[in-house]
C-alpha cells in the first residue's frame, strides 16, 4: 500500500499573478483541496460525513509553507500528502506540490491539526480506529523540523539541475 498518496491538478490562469506565477495564497487552496480529495479517495471518508457521524473533526492549528520553485499557469502538478506525526490529540501532514515528473518540489506545506469535538467545543483524543488509519499513511521523515525539511527539499531540487 502506498503511504504517500497523490493527485494531479492543472494550475488555472485566474489563480496566477500578472507575470503568470501561481499566487502564494492559492498554493494553500490547491494543496488543501488535494488533501481533502486524498482523504476521501484513500482514507475512505469525507470530513463532512465524519463530522456528522462522530461529532468530531480536525481543525488546523498551524501551517508552515515554503515556496521552493515557481509554478506557472496551465502547468500540471502532482500534489501528494502523507501523515508525518500522530499524537493523542494532534496530527501533522506534509503536502508537497511537485512537477509532473515529480523531480522538482514547488512547495512544501506542513499542517498541524487538532482533533476537535464539535459538541463540547474542546479538543479530544483521537479514537484508536483513526490512529490506525493515520498510521497506514504514516512516513517517518528523517528531517524532524520544518526548516531542516525545507533545506533538504531545496537540495533535492538543485541536485536534479
Residue 19 in grid coordinates: 507575470
Dist CA 136 CA 115 (whole Å)? 18
Q: Which domain holds residue 38?
A: 5-159
- Domains in the chain, number: 1
- What integer pLDDT is reported at residue 2 of this predicted model? 81
At residue 114, the 3 state secondary structure works out as: strand
The CATH number of the domain where 128 resides is what? 3.10.129.10
List the pLDDT tens digit at each of the 161 positions of the chain.
689 999 999 999 999 999 999 999 999 999 999 999 999 999 999 999 999 999 999 999 999 999 999 999 999 999 999 999 999 999 999 999 999 999 999 999 999 999 999 999 999 999 999 999 999 999 999 999 999 999 999 999 987 55
The strand pair at 76-86 and 105-117 is best described as unpaired
Residue 138 C-alpha cell reads as: 504514516
Model pLDDT, residue 1: 60
Amino acid at each position: 500500500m502506498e503511504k504517500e498518496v497523490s493527485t494531479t491538478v492543472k494550475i488555472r490562469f485566474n489563480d496566477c499573478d500578472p507575470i503568470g506565477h501561481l499566487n502564494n495564497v492559492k498554493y494553500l487552496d490547491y494543496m488543501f483541496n488535494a488533501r481533502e480529495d486524498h482523504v476521501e479517495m484513500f482514507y475512505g471518508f469525507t470530513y463532512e460525513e465524519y463530522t456528522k457521524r462522530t461529532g468530531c473533526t480536525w481543525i488546523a492549528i498551524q501551517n508552515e509553507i515554503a515556496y521552493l520553485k515557481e509554478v506557472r499557469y496551465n502547468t500540471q502538478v502532482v500534489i501528494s500528502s502523507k501523515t508525518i506525526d500522530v499524537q493523542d490529540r494532534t496530527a501533522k501532514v506534509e503536502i508537497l506540490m511537485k512537477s509532473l515528473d515529480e523531480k522538482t518540489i514547488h512547495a512544501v506545506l506542513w499542517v498541524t491539526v487538532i482533533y476537535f469535538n464539535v459538541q463540547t467545543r474542546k479538543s479530544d483524543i483521537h479514537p484508536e480506529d483513526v490512529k490506525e488509519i493515520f498510521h497506514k499513511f504514516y512516513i517517518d521523515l528523517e528531517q524532524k523540523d520544518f526548516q531542516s525539511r525545507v533545506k533538504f527539499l531545496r537540495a533535492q531540487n538543485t541536485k536534479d539541475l
